[in-house]
Structure 1
Amino acid sequence: MGFHTFDPESADKLEDASRYRYLSREELVGALDLDPDRSAVADFGSGTGFYTDDVAPFASEVRAVDVQSEMHELYREKGVPENVSLVTADIGDLPFADGELDAAFSTMTFHEFAGDGHGDGAADRAGADDRSGAEVEVARVLREGGRFVVGDWSANGDGESGPPVGERYDRDEAVELLENAGFSVVRADERPETFFVVAER
């Protein structure tokens, strides 16, 4: 992932039901548009599996992908659903074949891995010719027509919750990154503290 990852020592915050204030299970699952009998889905930046657990009943298999093995250890302690496999990997180098996944999602972690480095601010990272960010790798592992759903902290937020504002993208920057990676954006909402984007490969 990128320049900021969530501290495993604060992982109890990842299990706080108040997270649904920013993204509900219903909105996430609805946006993924899954077939429960044949959908292979990945949660990028899965942490302790808070949203992974919500998606698992609606998919045939889910890959919980996180760069920190400590997060997987905490998820195991909590209990992992039978159709969820834990994958320790960087989003920029996924151990999946081309088109292997039917859908993917990222909840409050897009800012950790998107773009090509994190130098002088999010706007600079969303350059029109940048095709080396992890979102390009996400596009590679999704089948044609597969959805990538992103809910993340917005650079337009006030920063009272989540990472510092300077480490975030806003909706338009996220859309630009995804479109540059070959996605077609079908929904893009800017909210008081977050943005929500639905894109198709």
Structure 2
Amino acid sequence: MGFHTFPIDRADALRDASRYRYCSREELLEGLPTDGDVTVADLGSGTGFYTDDVAPYVGRCYAVDVQEAMHERYREEGVPSTVELVTAAVDSLPFADDELDGAFSTMTHHEYASEAAFAELARVIRPGGRLVTVDWSADGDGEDGPSVDERFSAETAVDQLESAGFSIQSARERPETFHLIARR
């Protein structure tokens, strides 16, 4: 596994509604706190495809991406008023301890997976807060997404999160992806 980013010249693919076959808006929202004035973060937000789905249900949604160019593309689409763009890596988030009620990651876990990133998530997500992770599975066939050797299995992702102090509330494997809901 190694750090990489999604190519900006392919950013239009991140706005493709066919992505919902891997993670629907409803499936994402089911695991997140969406009641009242909660604060969540989209980890690896890209051009804001899933950020836009979550933003109407929370008080504040941080769109976190390491590439400022992705934020520029998101601005072109129009950023909702409840969204704040944050250029940062997951292993060095500019949030206070326990600031987030929740966070979510769609198809980016494999890009930031490290002990430092998981420790940082445990630092910024408040006790009882939730983390929803949907990513490409090492058990998939690799027809879509990154090559299989860049992916983690659901079992490995569970182990990574548990080692960082999260408890797994739900773990589902699908043909090409996995879906985890963890609580800090």
Q: Any idea what SS the aligned residue of 2:90 has?
A: coil
Task: Note the 1:92-107 alignment, pairs <5 A.
Answer: 92-107=91-106
User: In the alignment, which residue of structure 2 is the partner of 1:61?
Assistant: 60
Displacement of 1:33 in angstroms is: 3.1
TM normalised by structure 1 equals: 0.89
Match of 1:113 in 2: 112
Per-residue deviation, 1:95: 0.4
| Residue deviations 1:36-69 (CA, integer Å, cap 9, x gap) | x211000000000000000000000000000000
Map of 1:187 onto structure 2: 170
| 1:144 has 2:123 as partner | no
Structural RMSD (CA): 0.8
2:34 aligned partner: 34
1:133 positional shift: 3.0
Q: Counterpart of 1:48 in 2: which secondary structure? A: coil
SS in 1 for 2:91: coil
8 Å Cα contact 2:33-2:101 kept in structure 1: no
* Rounded Cα–Cα distance in structure 2 between residues aligned with 1:52 and 1:42: 8
Three-state SS of the structure 2 residue aligned to 1:177 is helix
Distance (Å, rounded) in 1 between the aligned partners of 2:3 and 2:26 = 30
Q: Which whole-Å deviations, capped at 9, do the CAs of 1:94-121 have from their partners, x for residues lacking one?
A: 1001000000000000000012xxxxxx
Distance 1:34 1:99 in 2: 17
Tell me how far apart the structure 2 counterparts of residues 91 and 114 of structure 1 sit (CA, whole Å). 9
Return 5+ residue gaps in structure 1 as ranges. 116-131
Aligned residue pair count: 183
Aligned-pair identity in percent equals: 62
Q: Is the 8 A contact 2:168 2:181 kept in 1?
A: yes
Partner of 1:92: helix, strand, or coil? helix
Q: Structure 1 runs of 4+ off > 3 angstroms?
A: none
Question: What is residue 10 of structure 1 aligned with on the other side?
Answer: 10
> 1:179 Cα deviation (Å)?
0.1
Aligned-partner SS, 2:11: helix
Return the offset for 1:189.
0.8
Q: Kindly indicate whether the alpha-carbon contact (under 8 Å) linking 2:107 and 2:136 is maintained by their aligned counterparts in 1.
A: yes
What pairs with 1:15-26 in structure 2 (closer than 5 Å)?
Answer: 15-26=15-26
